[in-house]
Structure 1
Amino acid sequence: MDMIRVLGTLRMTDVELVGGKNASLGELIQGLAGAGVRVPGGFATTADAFRLFLQENGIEESINARLRALDVNDVVALAQAGREIRAQVEAATLPAALEGAIRDAYAAMTAESGGTEPDVAVRSSATAEDLPEASFAGQQETFLNVRGIDDVLRHVRLVFASLYNDRAISYRVHHGFAHSEVALSAGVQRMVRSDLGASGVAFTLDTESGYRDAVLVTSSYGLGEMVVQGAVNPDEFFVYKPALNAGRKAILRRTLGSKQKRMEYAPQGGVQTVDVPQDQQRAFSLSDEDLTELARQCVTIENHYGRPMDIEWGKDGRDGLIYILQARPETVQSRTGKTLERFELTGKGPVLVEGRAVGNRIGAGVVRVVRDVSQMDSVQDGDVLVADMTDPDWEPVMKRASAIVTNRGGRTCHAAIIARELGIPAVVGSGNATRELQSGQEVTVSCAEGDTGFVYEGRLAYRVNRVELGNMPEVGMKIMMNVASPDRAFSFAALPHEGVGLARVEFICSNVIGIHPRALLDYPNVPGDVRAQIDEKTAGYASPRDFFREKLAEGVASIAAAFAPKPVIVRLSDFKSNEYAHLIGGPAYEPTEENPMIGFRGASRYRSRDFAAAFALECEAIKSVRDDMGLTNVQVMIPFVRTVGEAAQIIEILGRNGLKRGENGLKIIMMCEIPSNAILADQFLEHFDGFSIGSNDLTQLTLALDRDSGLVADLFDEQNEAVLALMSQAIQAAKRAGKYVGICGQGPSDHPALAQWLMEQGIDSVSLNPDSVLGTWLHLAGETVPA
């Protein structure tokens, strides 16, 4: 009977011997060392050793009898039973054969370290752990910076005892594992000095949407337990796998976390938590090079296992290298079937708190603020659990909650993993939930609006749409989507689609960037208060100019990647002067116009000498997405082109800024939204690769209506005969020229009959709002929309 096994001798076939985590570490060392995946070495005690430990101390039967009689839904009884069983285990003696084997193995590690006793992590690995159907996230303990044989032996006993943590007992019962059939293996692994570097968690898919072509990485300074436990708001990154595999620039998105605390070695052994200096908080904890290397290792691991993976990693601050500390199958999105469930908030109310969204659901209930684990029994079924942070100790009551809200944590912490598995919406890393929310008040928690989760006052109405995603029926044109928000693109791409007919740059400029581009370019000369706001927004980027270019590129790339290889038509910025004036620094650069709707916007702005540098920055971002990341499915669309002469000028300006029509397959589309565009369609089409009809502006300009005025709103009708006549004229001109013509205005989303008419006219595509796609598609196919 083996008491221990060296990690490098293990494979995944050894799960019953050393548990999922330790078997996986062995698999990585044996199978992937040659592929550049770095894993610290060590050894693992066996399940046989654990069972011998229980038997020699005569505690196995008493423990199992106590657990058989326990009602795990009684949190008070659960806490008492867990506490007493753990005390039994901690007081027990390791069998002589096991202690001797551990001493020999640690002595061998010491010899490898040149005679210096190594600092190690002592981790738990349950024999039923990390099966594809069960996450066991954080159910047992991990101890860091353990040094010296006596400390190692003591922590092995503590790891054994952690099999009987309250949350572990509860989890096994709720997931159908018999206590007596689960054994524990202690993994003793050489420490990576990430206390001097950074660490975190990576998933080889998007945890919220299940999108498979991205690696999600969370990262913070110091030892990784801060990220895993949800005690810190980490940086967050998405890396695009196809670009990574092609050796291209691959970072899709970066989000700067606050990273206020760092876990490091304590002088007396063990670990301690310290504050992170402000300048480090305002910088990303991983360089682009480190992030790319980490993502490469993660993809290598995923390819080896043939399934999405959940990976813990660390960057050693001494040698600067990235190491893999754990790898296990991802357990939530992997089990998601082909039914699409979309939650949609229909009520409105004030936002009380916001943070990172976990899941895509909505929950409502009575707030229950819980300040420590001793108050868990106050949580009733359907309550909204609010806490500074949660850890796996809270799992027995998390399943009672309708939603969870925390001050601290990121989307890969234990609480987030468990919330996803339970199907509970969670808003983590809000910063102030325990201050802003009061026990007893009613709230609605929405994670259905993208990366940001919101807590609204009161119980708001919402609906749930469930659709079986089978093969969609054929219709006579392509159904595309209008997409504004990059952080919802992965979810929207799960809908049936033929690409994106309208991706709005101005949404990224206002909601993600939030600063007037000329203020960024003029940064040294802007007033002090504006400069302070710019400094706050641009933290982590080399310069204000880089911030604009990279954030815009990230937003466009996120949408393009989500829908690749289908076309994504990106409309360049179409702000009006009053909308630009609302951005930080905007008033200094914008004219006051009586009617901005037909003023300084669209192509006329791009031609302006005052706006030339800002427009060049926009073009740089688009060029980077296409050329550097290889997302050549991006097409460019120009709005509000008034004259044929202006059309020729714009094509020339785009070419000067690196966006040359036809180069690297670039198509340039024109918005057909002014009556002159339809009337002179043949001439405009000589300069462009096609039209996209903008029904909103075309209607208001044809009928001389201000679409923002409620006084004449009753006359606004995209199906007016004059509007239809111009649309038909544009469609027929494009067909004669053999060029693309689609529509991206609101009309077909609101009026399925208009979509039907457009199909009969021979239009190539209609681009709809995501919530209209399924209904309009089935309407056009003559089928009923599922309830």
Structure 2
Amino acid sequence: MPQYIAWFDELSKADVSRVGGKGANLGEMTRAGLPVPPGFVVTTEGFLAALSDAGVRDELRAAFVSADPDDPAALAAASLRMRELVERAGVPSEVRTALAGAYARLGADAAVAVRSSATSEDTGATSFAGMHETFTNVVGEHALIRRVIDCWKSAYGQRVIAYRRAEGMTEEPTIAVVVQKMIASARSGVMFTADPATGERGTIVVEAAFGLGEVVVGGQVEVDTYVLAKDGPKMRSARVGHKAFKIVRGADGNDEKVPLSTGEADRRVLSDAEAEALATMGLRVEAHYGTPQDIEWGEVDGVFSLLQTRPITTLAGASADAAPASDSGALITGLGASPGVGSGAVRVLRTPGDGAKLQRGEVLVAPMTSPDWVPTMRRAAAIVTDSGGMTCHAAIVSRELRIPCIVGAREATRVLRDGELVTVDGRRGQVTEGLVPAAPPRVEAIAPRPVAATEALATRLYVNLAMAEHAETAAALPVDGVGLLRAEFMILDALGGQHPRELVARGGGREFVAKMRTQLLRITRAFMPRPVVYRSYDFRTNEFRGLAGGEKHEPQEENPMIGYRGCFRYIKDPALFDLELETLARVREETPNLHLMIPFVRTKWELERCLERIARSPLAGDRTLLRWVMAEVPSVAYWLPDYAKLGIDGVSIGSNDLTQLMLGVDRDSATCAELFDESDPAVVDAISRIIAGARATGMTSSLCGQAPSNHPAFAETLVRLGISSISVNVDAVDAARRTIAAAEKRMLLDAARSALQPRS
């Protein structure tokens, strides 16, 4: 006889096929004696009975098998049709009767959470994180039945279909539904029984906030982070976040957002003893499953409950430069912009249109590069340009591609000759004659490294990224996420060197969204659940004009660095920005760790207009989307309080542009390169004002310029100023971690010495 209802204490991991991963895990924890709020599961037998009784099961199976995840329009239509079939099927009378009886056992009109539990969900290989529906504070039999149908329908959502195909799962979807008694958590959070960023298994990481857990899993506030050694368990470090608000269950049963005073917001959520007690529970869960776990928890009246567990699916498992070139016999010198040594035959190119002439492994020599050079640059063993500074396009792209690069070499295109064999030392800024015999081949991406124990930091460490092809290897580094994901290079990859407005004019908006979505998902999936902050496009007119069709859409400017760029572009010509917003919305359906950062914001009214566009986009109403602004224009220090009132969550200091505007130095100028100094006292003063202003207004602060990657002392200055996070290039992660850790230790020692000083 079919069993449509199964209680938690009846279930184990052997029941995944009929209650799904979530239901089986709740059963395992309940039977292990762990504190789990009571509940039951509407089994897959109930779901399949509904489809069979309505006569739609075969039609659904055929529609699922034929759905094309690479055709967005067809996928949307197929998903809608399948969801309509499930809606039409409804809940059969025998399933409805069993469901009503089980609900009554939880209490008259009990408030329950209703969660989808797919049979492939929350397993060691696939998590389906956030893809199926979940509902909280469901009260009453009629509302419960409605939400069960909604969970069933979510098995045929667009993102679920696409994810199943990406994971090679072609079998008929089946889904169960968990019904669990709600607890009105006063405190809540997530606990990882291994460090999800580094894979270090001797560590437990607990994230905590006040109120319901939505603010934690959705990244809506700066949570407390407690790092504990499993041996004990014993507290290693506690970082107290600024929790600007909490979400509580209101008298009407709906969630309410409650602002917290500064004193409350900066108060610790957990004491050392409480965090250690929670970690002890985590160790019991891990011991039961035999593998590191990602656990959601809540607390009511001093009692901790475990709400959900799943295996951590993101646990991870640089090449050294060749010997430096000799000082003698340099053919040309310039600024070392990207470290490494590369050898090959010279290929002098004047325009990106000549890119096809460059053979893989040759040394590209050009007057300067712009975004349309990227496909050519990928094939180069090394790059040398006549002009440019440390933050020019050639330098940034070369560091991203891990290609040795020299910029500002002035006469490289005149002195170096096609076919000449040379060696480029990107650290020392020298081009020498001949090949270095021991020079290894250029590494295309960061080589994965064995996971080692990594010291926890109070200051978050993020990585800068620009290309999807490096996502997996960058995600294996000990970082907390992506602090700067540059849109420009991905757009160029998606459009193949064509100007975006030209594509839009030809009706290619759907093509843009589809291609960008594919690239972004590769990055966000690799970093889940760590945040990925996407900086919307910030092309300058001189860069845009070089793209195919660019001359029709770009004005000619004498000073493009301070011209038509950033936020102002989105207001004057919003077509591309609107497509970006649509892309972000589609990606967040599957991976909600993606957030938005708006560049080069000069004034309050610009930002207001830009936020209005977001409010009219598919992202409207997305409560978990974080909205950041770049702090590149000095005016941001004045406007920060107003930006906070507009709902901006964080500010990221772009030290390259900020230095340029503070000191009046064109960052692309080779002639003035010696004047460009991010550690100049005037620049540091501006940065300190921005960090202080962000903290005063409840925003997080970060810095994503080149300086922390090149100058350890600058990174220490940022830590001492109280910055929330630092984002560095991939090749600077290890050095940055060491510098930040040393700075934090020195600050603790300074504070201890100060406390021990006798008072007069």
Q: What TM-score, normalized by structure 1, do the two folds share?
A: 0.47
Q: What TM-score, normalized by structure 2, do the two folds share?
A: 0.49
Structure showing greater Rg: 1
